[in-house]
Amino acid sequence: MRVLGIETSCDETGVAVFDGAAGLLAHTVHSQVDLHAAYGGVVPELASRDHIRRLTPLIRLVMAEAGTTAADIDGVAYTAGPGLVGALLVGAGLGRSLAWGWGVPAIGVHHMEGHLLAPLLEEPAPAFPFVALLVSGGHTQLVEVAAAGRYRLLGESVDDAAGEAFDKTAKILDLPYPGGPALAKLAEQGEPGRYVFPRPMTDRPGLDFSFSGLKTFALNTVREELAHRSDTEQARADIARAFEDAVVETLVIKCRRAVEAAGVDRLVLAGGVSANRRLRERVDAMMAQRSGRAFYPRLALCTDNGAMIAFAGHQRLAAGQSEALAFTAMPRWPLDALPELWDE
Ligand code: ATP
Ligand code: MG
Ligand code: FE
């Protein structure tokens, strides 16, 4: 079965063609970073308009790259939520219409299920069951995954997501939007241990996270330190390093607890922050210590992309799920509300 996947939940227009037998045939992402950079964050109305402008040409391009004509497409998958409602409606409207025009089924995919299943596009793919850490711009969640479609939320952030904390702290350090990768780069020059940030919510049991305090801690440290250190460039790098170390160690502590509690030796990381090099190193070391293993998507599939939506949609369409002609976008949509993929 060959599926066209469309992602428009935020500020990336992602398109891909996934084939059940041949794998990922082609995928492309157009990032709107330049469009929103001047505003320091995503402007929803501009995002929707740009998705409208980009989507049709991108679909043509990706289908050509995949050597696929409309007649070869067996289904269309689009992100139905969570995300910006206007942006979601662009992908949903076009995806549902194409499927209707081509006479094939369509499926609205949960964006976080897309992220969660992305590591299954890699070799070796993790076998079920596993624990997944979803770390992105809007989510920080630990999920117990019994099988594709069978998700149990173990813990999540009670305030900012890890990616959001990266972005906000980057802003405090005068780094360009989007801040995560820029902060990680600056942290490379930082001296480890020069500052020590808290590891929020690690001193008590539980699998929830809280990252909003770290950005306040960063703000206070910047105010105090930049005022009386003459080497301000080094000070910024030291603060970036301390912040990154705190986020990474906090995530690793909770991941270790989660795999212990679930009794599994496989941990999957996905979402934009899973591109972070130091996080990968520390997670690998922690899992190696437990004789387990961590799995990640390739870097290009950590942040938003169409490949993960084509893949997740393929799993559901191949299991016989699809939806009626009416479509909807769900700005909020809990992951564990999804139907299971296969009946037992
Ligand atoms: P969600 O998936 O929750 O709806 P989103 O789609 O906006 O949110 P993603 O595209 O998955 O999020 O990831 C973007 C986030 O990842 C941003 O917050 C960005 O700063 C962060 N990020 C990307 N690369 C890195 C990195 N190397 N280190 C830290 N953070 C990073
Ligand atoms: Mg984005
Ligand atoms: Fe995302």
**pLDDT, tens digit only, all 344 positions of the chain:** 999 999 999 999 999 999 999 999 999 999 999 999 888 889 999 999 999 999 999 999 999 999 999 999 999 999 999 999 999 999 999 999 999 999 999 999 999 999 999 999 999 999 999 999 999 999 999 999 999 999 999 999 999 999 999 999 999 999 988 899 999 999 999 999 999 999 999 999 999 999 999 999 999 999 999 888 999 999 999 999 999 999 999 999 999 999 999 999 999 999 999 999 999 999 999 999 999 999 999 999 999 999 999 999 999 999 999 998 888 899 999 998 898 886 44
At residue 344, the pLDDT reads 41
Q: How far is the CA of 101 from the centre of ligand 1 (A)?
A: 34
Diameter over CA atoms, the chain: 67
At residue 342, the pLDDT reads 62
Alpha helices in the chain (DSSP H): 33-37, 44-65, 85-102, 111-117, 162-172, 179-187, 212-228, 232-262, 277-289, 306-318
User: What Å distances lie between residue 234 and 190, 225, 245, CA to CA?
Assistant: 7, 11, 16
Which ligand lies nearest to the CA atom of residue 274 in the structure? 1
Q: How far is the CA of 120 from the centre of ligand 3 (A)?
A: 16
**Of the residues 303, 305, 309, which should be mutated to test ligand 1's pocket, given the most ligand atoms within 8 Å of the CB?**
303
Prediction pTM value: 0.96
**Residue 274 gets which letter from DSSP?**
G
At residue 34, the pLDDT reads 93
- Looking at the chain, the domain(s) classified CATH 3.30.420.40 span 2-117+301-337, 128-296
Q: What CATH topology corresponds to 128-296? A: Nucleotidyltransferase; domain 5 (3.30.420)
Q: Whose CA is nearest to atom 5 of ligand 1?
A: 137
Q: Is the CB of 303 under 6 A from ligand 1?
A: yes
Q: How far is the CA of 223 from the centre of ligand 3 (A)?
A: 32
Q: Is the CB of 184 under 6 A from ligand 1?
A: yes
Q: Is the CB of 14 under 6 A from ligand 1?
A: no
Is 274:163 a contact under the CB 8 Å cutoff?
no
Q: Is the CB of 178 under 6 A from ligand 1?
A: yes
What span, in angstroms and rounded, lies between the C-alpha atoms of 234 and 188?
A: 11
Ligand 1 nearest-atom number relative to CA 164: 18
What span, in angstroms and rounded, lies between the C-alpha atoms of 200 and 100?
A: 49
Q: What CATH topology corresponds to 2-117+301-337? A: Nucleotidyltransferase; domain 5 (3.30.420)
Q: How far is the CA of 332 from the centre of ligand 2 (A)?
A: 17
